[in-house]
Amino acid sequence: MTWGEIGSIVGSLSAAGSFLIWLYKKLVQEPDQKIREKTAEDLLQADQEQRMHMEKVLLPISDQIQRLNENLEESRLDRIRIHERLDHHKEEIVGLDKRFTKIEHHVFEGGDKL
C-alpha cells in the first residue's frame, strides 16, 4: 500500500467520522437539548403556578391567623380586667361581711356600739 492510498483511506475515515459526528448531533444531541429546554420551561411554569396557588391559599390563612392573634390579645386583656373587677368585688364582699357580722353581734348580743 502506498502513501497515497493510506492518505486516501485516512481522508475517507475522517469524512465518515465527521459525518457520524454530524449525524449524532442531529439525531441525538439536538433533540435531547430541546427536550431539556422544554422540561426546564415546564418545571419553571409549574413552579410559578404552584407559587401563585400557595399565595392564594396562604394569604387568607395568614389573615385569619392575624385576626385570631388580635382576638386572643383582646381576650387576654378582657380576662385581666375581669379579674381586677372580681378582686374589687371580693374586697367589697369581705367589707360587707364584716359589717354584717358586727350588726349580727349587736342585734343578738345586745351590744351598744356598731
Question: pTM of the full predicted structure?
Answer: 0.46
**Which residues, other chains included, contact 103 with Cβ-Cβ below 8 Å and sequence gap of 6+?**
114
Cβ-contact 8, 2 below 8 angstroms: no
Query: pLDDT digits over 80-112, tens only?
Result: 999 999 999 999 999 999 999 989 888 888 655
Query: pLDDT digits over 6-18, tens only?
Result: 888 888 889 999 9
User: Residue range 12-40: average pLDDT?
Assistant: 91
Residue type present at position 46? A
